[in-house]
Amino acid sequence: LIILPQQVAGEGKSSMISTSFNFINSIIGSGIIDYSIILLIKGGNISGTNSYQSLVHSTFGFPGYLILSGLQFLYPFIAMISYNITTGDTLTKVFQRIPGVGPDHILAERHFVILVSTILFTLPLSLYRNIGRLGKVSFLSMVLTLVILIVVIIRAATFGPQVVPTENAWAFAKWNAIQAVGVMSFAFICHHNSFLMYGSLEQPTLTSWSRVTHVSVGSAFIVSAAFAVAGYTTFTGYTQGDIFENYCRNDNLATFGRFCFGLSIITTFPLECFVTREVVSNIICSRDLSKAEHVGITLLIVSVCTAISLAYDCLGVVLELNGVLSATPLIFIIPSACFLKLSSGRWFQGENLIPTILIVIGLFVMVTGLTMTGLYPQDCSHGMEMFYCDGNYGSLIRTKSNAVTSIC
């Protein structure tokens, strides 16, 4: 029997506001996960457990614990890889706007940028033992996210009319739309650190947790919807996995947005490292880590993550695979299965109805999403300037516009 420690050694308590900042930062881009998050904590209260791992262990035994641990490690680990890829893609274009920094300059080399950002920023922040200390960093990330949103909205109004929409751009959903569910699941998930956030509350009750969840997920949903609408209306079918790959390099406002985006990603990285390290420490040690163990495991996780992100650079596929392979079961299937196992009554009756539906949805998304990702992988335009950034393209659009105006 493995008893899993929930609190990291030396971890203090944080206020509801600070916890909300951390929570919003870890799920920005989400929207409809309220019920599943609260369901997870309810299961913990019913079983008398205080972590996702211990909940599954008490419900489904050691095999369930191993499956969950693998998923809990996989999701934040792949998320950190995607953050590094995004940092490399984004900041290299920012640095190229500096006079004297061209495509061949070392600051335009994504490998160099990823290594420097890791050594100077993400690794030191990831070495913190108290997740509550990241509240201010998460607040900074939230502010930066709002700034980025303003940039995207402005460019939707000013640059969007210059990009001719793709064919059937405004169709509500195409037959392979299930691919998007994987990416959305990647953004939706926050279950892997829900118990960490719940435990960091000054008063960890279901009522206070519900307030934190509603405020955090509601805020994230609004931001996510605004990003989605503004981004897609600008580029329609040309939209890349990293939206800032769509903007032209000589766009100064987009460059400022890229800088804020890169900094926001850097400040989000440590939250995922906290969860990854906790899973590893629970499996290996089943106790609080010593200082040397803490540093060693953190260095190993960050180093492997950085090495993979240096070797692979296509963000869209990474997001899709992480969504269907790890995020979907962590969101839809496991919390619902635990609750159904612990509750009384039939699956399709009363309060068991919604958890049952979530399990069915989760299985469907996993199977079809993985199939679609393999059959129709996203294109990756890493480091390429989009065709509409060509000056000739802009002249052609203005000529057509003037011709239409003359006819009218």
For residue 408, is pLDDT > 60? no
Phi, psi (5° rounding) for residue 50?
-130, 25
Pick the residue with more confidence: 395 or 50?
A: 50
CA angle 309, 310, 314 (to 5 degrees): 60
Rounded to 10°, the helix 34-47/206-235 angle is: 150
Single-letter code of the amino acid located at 164: V
For residue 216, is pLDDT > 50? yes
pLDDT the model gives residue 193: 66
Say whether 115 sits in a helix, a strand or coil: helix
pLDDT the model gives residue 30: 41
Q: Tabulate helix, strand, coil % of the chain (nearest 5).
A: 75, 0, 25
> What is the C-alpha to C-alpha distance for residues 87 and 268, in angstroms, rounded to an integer?
11
For residue 404, is pLDDT > 50? no
Single-letter code of the amino acid located at 189: I
Mean pLDDT of the chain: 80
Quickly tell me which residue has 């000529």 as its tokens: 399
Note the pLDDT tens digit of each residue in 219-278: 777 887 888 889 999 998 888 877 888 999 889 999 999 999 999 999 889 988 988 898
Nearest to 378 by CA among 186, 223, 163, 159: 186
Note the pLDDT tens digit of each residue in 109-155: 999 999 999 999 999 999 988 777 777 887 888 889 889 999 999 99
pLDDT the model gives residue 81: 92
pLDDT the model gives residue 258: 94
One DSSP character per residue, 36-61 reads HHHHHHHHHHHHT--SHHHHHHHHHH
From residue 341, alpha-carbon distances to 48, 52, 93, 349 in Å are 14, 15, 51, 14
From residue 170, alpha-carbon distances to 44, 156, 207, 249 in Å are 43, 15, 41, 27
| Euclidean distance between the first and the last CA atom of the chain, given in angstroms as a whole number | 79
Residue 271 neighbours by CB under 8 Å, 6+ apart: 22, 25, 26, 131, 134, 138, 193
pLDDT the model gives residue 259: 94
Q: How confident is the model at residue 15 (pLDDT cuts 50, 70, 90)?
A: low
The gap from C-alpha 258 to its chain's centroid, in whole angstroms, comes to 17
pTM, full prediction: 0.75
> What is the C-alpha to C-alpha distance for residues 196 and 271, in angstroms, rounded to an integer?
10
CA angle 286, 292, 294 (to 5 degrees): 50
pLDDT the model gives residue 287: 74
For residue 158, is pLDDT > 90? yes
Phi, psi (5° rounding) for residue 136?
-65, -40
CB 257 within 8 A of CB 152: yes
CB 286 within 8 A of CB 315: no
Q: How confident is the model at residue 203 (pLDDT cuts 50, 70, 90)?
A: confident
pLDDT the model gives residue 79: 87
Q: How confident is the model at residue 371 (pLDDT cuts 50, 70, 90)?
A: confident
> What is the C-alpha to C-alpha distance for residues 178 and 173, in angstroms, rounded to an integer?
9
Q: Which CATH superfamily is 16-407 part of?
A: Amino acid/polyamine transporter I (1.20.1740.10)
For residue 172, is pLDDT > 90? no
Pick the residue with more confidence: 7 or 334?
A: 334
pLDDT the model gives residue 7: 36
> What is the C-alpha to C-alpha distance for residues 288 and 293, in angstroms, rounded to an integer?
9
Note the pLDDT tens digit of each residue in 287-299: 778 889 999 999 9
b/e per residue 89-112 (b: at least 16 CB within 10 A): bbbbbbbbbeeeeeeeeebbebeb
Other Cβ atoms closer than 10 A to 225: 12
CB 292 within 8 A of CB 127: no
pLDDT the model gives residue 176: 63
Token pair, residue 252, equals 């100064």
